[in-house]
Structure 1
């Protein structure tokens, strides 16, 4: 017998309240991927860490979460979804409290590892649970609820983190999880039924190889910019470990009797194409979000609160689209909905390539609303299509792989845009400065003090050149994200719309 939440149509007495509890836990976990970023400078002095050392507060969480995510399916089978939820929520909430009272860097890194380990299962477990407690005709609305939590977390995180850090102190970035975690824990305990378990051998070797591959990849992505990417032996060590671990893992799974991950689930075309697509969406969505706060604060001079207000309409657009797409699912070909959403997202990136240093807030607001509205149309129907034909017995493992690939894509995307931004700022600065020589008519007319060696004028001109070089670099990154998004569009039409009902049988009453 498979675990209940790897089976569809689990009957619950209070589906709405259970969904609220599940989404509270999910939002809490997703928020923590971004909420601590803005608090890092404030942690440095308090924890006695250097600028380079404090980044391990982020790295430790990301790596621990990535390694633990694939464990979700096995843990569901062995513990049951209800018990696993309770353990994960309690552990994440408790480790958040420990992070909030940490007194040194070593303690903080340890507690962030604990946060990552407990939180890793929350997102995939929430997705599989929501799929299982809703009948097929409500699947679109159910995915709309899940998608809202997944996509609003990264949008709200930096703003909430900045407000808490400025007004209450960096410790409240972690302590804010306590009331949310307690409510989620009580909700799951009260409304989620007990679920049966099954014996499943733990393939330690397979898990170790997959963990090695994922952990090394995440370390490379997080540390690459700081150590100089391919110019550093550290990067090549990570690359070698990641490739070796993945190769051994695949060979082992193909030959083992009970592998850690059953590779047969990748034979489902919808699922495989869904993983490829969500990788690209993770790459563009989170990297685009990572670019906006530094652009608004460092380049345009917006304070943290104003930055949050300027980015808030993006979340409003997402919420509106979730409501609309939930009602359209089942009535309109989901591939058309995804295509419409992709077109809006591409249009938003195109608007963002027109940003300049003299603009007001409205281009940011309108492009944000358009992108948020488009992403709602992308995430909900595509998540539904990805699992529409996947056998129910693979659902727990499938949702964990879905979350893992999305997180790897976001990590890669952030690394790409960070690296491109740094390199393009330097390149653009050099090119713009080369046009300010003694033979430039504009220099003679507008800034003659530059030719006379006036240091004040030279500093002012250099500041303007740096500002323009940075804006061009941001625009280049937005164009790159546009290209990535456009390249992913053909994947949509490789999916099958007609679901295989045999893949999602209903449980007979005796097994609920």
Structure 2
């Protein structure tokens, strides 16, 4: 941007910086919100659109796949057309696509509209991050990433709550219509306050590289999204998607390694920046561990404890308050305290919250859900902000659009892999637990005798099997929490890979990162 605080300090007023921040964060929040807001409305959509259970999930899958494929384009589009132009087209297209989702009359229409939503909205999160880094001086990058992190993280947390409330009190179509006024306000703010600057046009479009990467990402996302439904590699479709993804990745790697510098879709200078690569590793782990846990808890509440969607959203929403509180505090600490120490505390709190979840049973009070969520939210806030600051602090400004796009992509892939793995393990572990419990249900088992004497077996074998299924499901959820707990602890020693200077901040850019 022409108003970079690092390259053109003094060309942007504090009021303009505030308005730019407000406008791009509106766009970021509605895009982040739309990743989860439609989840709780699916049953209502299914009846309205005359779709089967398998078909209606395409409302979610189409958005995820389109976003994943379009995200890597952000850097090239910004270089070719300029940040402001890409912002305007992205938020405008996303808003129009949201309207099309709301007025859809059948499954095909809403799936196509969701594809447009994902494609247009893909650039908004990485561009908002790059813009906040550009318009703020280096010493304020921590505070800028705190603001950005709140938008990115609060959206998915509030999505199910807002979606459930709109669906229950109005109609599922308002899940999409709510984007229209917010998108219009963000569009006006971006048009009014971000200065125009023509694209540098330094990067040639690498069609072969983009095609290979798109095919790889699309096939991987399809495999992860449909794997559980199709029983993974017992399905020919999953095998096909895995093979396509592997071939496309292999081609992309060979193509990128053999083409001259500056002519490939992925800028090699990103890959030789130590802090950026370390940041990618950690954001992958954050996506895999924390987002998988966030996906499990609502399923546990609604599936086993029979919470209505709105109540499940209410008891999980306080975790977002913990995240916001931590981000407000940590934004002021970045640059003053060793980043690795802040990250270690964040991962430690996350591990502690998961340890508390490992003691869950089928008898839980609301505070048993709220407090571990708040602690995990604080841990997430302490991780997300310094990790973003450290990842990009050594990256040259002209590489930020590409870097933020790859950063968002890796976070999303980590989230998809984590959710797929945890769901697959839950299905396997619940079956194993069910079999183990059933083996012990003999006439000599005092627990079975007590259960029958208490009237719990009033429904006969059907009632008994339902109770065994509930117990097995909870055991499987706890097994998942133990896995996430151990992975979180294992991530802490890896913090030593982050290079810092004496002030506690990430080291200054190297020549390799700048040229």
Indicate if the aligned counterparts of 1:75 and 1:84 stay in contact, CA closer than 8 A: yes
Q: 1:79-228 residue pairs with structure 2 within 5 A?
A: 79-199=81-201, 200-228=203-231
Task: Compute the RMSD of aligned alpha carbons.
Answer: 2.0
How does 1:363-442 map onto structure 2 within 5 Å? 363-442=368-447
User: Is the 8 Å Cα contact of residues 40 and 309 (structure 2) preserved in structure 1?
Assistant: no
Q: Distance between the aligned counterparts of 1:374 and 1:92, measured in 2?
A: 32
Contact 1:7 1:393 in 2 (8 A): no
**Residue 324 of structure 1 aligns with which residue?**
329
The equivalences for 1:46-61 within 5 A come to 46-61=48-63
Q: Residues of 2 paired with 1:216 and 1:333: CA distance?
A: 40
Q: 1:485 aligns with which of 485, 488, 491?
A: 488
Equivalent in 332, 335, 339 of residue 334 of structure 1 = 339
**Alignment correspondent of 1:310:** 315
Residues 358 and 212 (structure 1), Cα distance of their counterparts in 2 relative to 1, 3 Å cut: same
Q: Deviations for 1:408-463, whole angstroms, at most 9, x for unmatched residues?
A: 00011111111112222221111112111233244345426999xx8723232222
Asked if the contact 2:126/2:408 (under 8 Å) is kept, the reply is yes
CA contact (8 A) 2:97 2:113 kept: yes
Determine whether 1:443 maps to 2:445: no
Contact 1:159 1:304 in 2 (8 A): yes
Task: Give the distance between the partners of 1:354 and 1:444, measured in 2 at CA.
Answer: 26
Output the CA distance in 1 between the equivalents of 2:369 and 2:414.
24
Q: Report the count of equivalent residues.
A: 501
Q: Which residues of structure 1 form unaligned runs of 5+?
A: 505-512
User: Take 1:262 and 1:144, find their aligned partners in 2: how far apart are those partners?
Assistant: 27
Match of 1:287 in 2: 292
Q: In 2, are the aligned partners of 1:72 and 1:125 still within 8 Å (CA)?
A: yes
Residue equivalent to 1:75: 77
Q: Which residue of 1 aligns with 2:238?
A: 235
Determine which of 460, 474, 489 is the counterpart of 1:457. Answer: 460
Q: For the residues of structure 2 that align with 1:351 and 1:216, how far apart are their CA atoms?
A: 36
1:275 aligned residue (273, 276, 280) = 280
Aligned partner of 1:251 in structure 2 is 254
Structure 2 Cα separation of the partners of residues 149 and 5 of structure 1: 22
Match of 2:302 among 297, 305, 315: 297
Q: Write out per-residue CA displacement over residues 91-146 of structure 1, whole angstroms, 9 at most, x where no aligned residue.
A: 00000000000001111111111001001000000000000000011111001000
Structure 2 gaps of 5+ residues are: none
State how far apart, in whole Å, the 2-side matches of 1:502 and 1:262 are: 16
Distance 1:327 1:183 in 2: 29
Distance of 1:335 and 1:111 partners within structure 2: 43
- Distance in 1 (CA, whole Å) between partners of 2:391 and 2:173 is 39
Whole-angstrom distance in 2 between the partners of 1:244 and 1:361: 48
C-alpha change, 1:7 and 1:331, in structure 2 (3 Å) is closer
Helix, strand or coil at the partner of 2:237: helix
Structure 2 distance, partners of 1:502, 1:446, is 66
| C-alpha distance in 2 between matches for 1:456 and 1:370 | 40
Give the CA deviation at 1:5. Answer: 8.0
Secondary structure in 1 aligned to 2:317? helix
Distance 1:445-1:53 versus aligned 2 partners, 3 A rule: closer
TM-score normalized with structure 2 length: 0.94
SS of corresponding position for 1:52: helix
Given the two structures, how large is their TM-score scaled by the length of structure 1?
0.94
What CA distance in whole angstroms lies between the structure 1 residues aligned with 2:22 and 2:464?
A: 54
Deviation of the 1:17 alpha carbon:
1.1
Q: Give how far 1:501 is off.
A: 4.1
